[in-house]
Structure 1
């Protein structure tokens, strides 16, 4: 099932200059970027983005972190992208993220976890609308799409 998700390459990854490595992992999985912008997320926008965590002891730190330096904010699309990209990212905490995942390979501190990805279709829709207008998202097909989805055989019957 084709889905969209919001992926944010967070300030620690931008500062460490590993944006390309994160994007490479997503592209190698067969996902396609349909919107992207480098931005310094304001504290106000960070508070809206993380509103579900308001009241948690880490909320203020989380908002300050994501607004501390530029991030690359993107919309990605693909088959089951929400579940698959979250598996690719790994566990939230660096100490729990397995090697081979983005966080497992690149996170160096518990509070800095490289990347954000939407956790459900509903949150993806809400998060995307916070950062993007619909005209900033480009919908297109990849010629390899049937190979990625396992439907190429239907075309050759």
Structure 2
């Protein structure tokens, strides 16, 4: 999944290209808006973590790109391409490098 910051930063083509360069085949792609119920099921294993509520707010904030990839070791290789969840810990050249300061364009107009 390409999360809201990746979609907003126009990284979809770059991310797909990195997977294709590794020899993987894109079998399906869909731009979706994740609803709270789906997000809670998807991240259920993280529900006890202190960052869970922020994760839920983030993942439903804007559209994501859901993808299905085919190829040997695609999950393990994909994790190497993307790297650390915390952008501050990401290695140079990985997808999450340099996004620590990202702010959603939607936040200025969202009112609670």
Structure 2 counterpart of 1:19: 12
Structure 2 counterpart of 1:108: 99
- Residues 95 and 110 of structure 1 are in contact (CA less than 8 Å); yes or no, is this contact kept in structure 2? no
Select the structure that is richer in helix: 1
- Residues 31 and 64 of structure 2 are in contact (CA less than 8 Å); yes or no, is this contact kept in structure 1? yes
TM-score (norm. length: structure 2)? 0.85
Structure 1: gaps spanning 5 or more residues = 1-7, 113-157
Alpha-carbon distance between aligned partners in 2 of 1:103 and 1:16, rounded to the nearest angstrom:
11
The CA deviation at 1:63 is 1.1
RMSD: 1.7
- Residues 34 and 63 of structure 2 are in contact (CA less than 8 Å); yes or no, is this contact kept in structure 1? yes
Structure 1 counterpart of 2:109: none
3-state DSSP class of the match of 1:102? Answer: coil
- Residues 3 and 59 of structure 2 are in contact (CA less than 8 Å); yes or no, is this contact kept in structure 1? yes
Alpha-carbon distance between aligned partners in 2 of 1:102 and 1:47, rounded to the nearest angstrom:
25
TM-score (norm. length: structure 1)? 0.62
Please list every run of at least 4 consecutive aligned residues from structure 1 whose deviation after the TM superposition is greater than 4 angstroms: none
3-state DSSP class of the match of 1:79? Answer: coil
- Residues 93 and 110 of structure 1 are in contact (CA less than 8 Å); yes or no, is this contact kept in structure 2? no
Q: What is the aligned length?
A: 103
Select the structure that is richer in strand: 1
- Residues 9 and 71 of structure 1 are in contact (CA less than 8 Å); yes or no, is this contact kept in structure 2? yes
The CA deviation at 1:111 is 8.3
Structure 2 counterpart of 1:60: 53
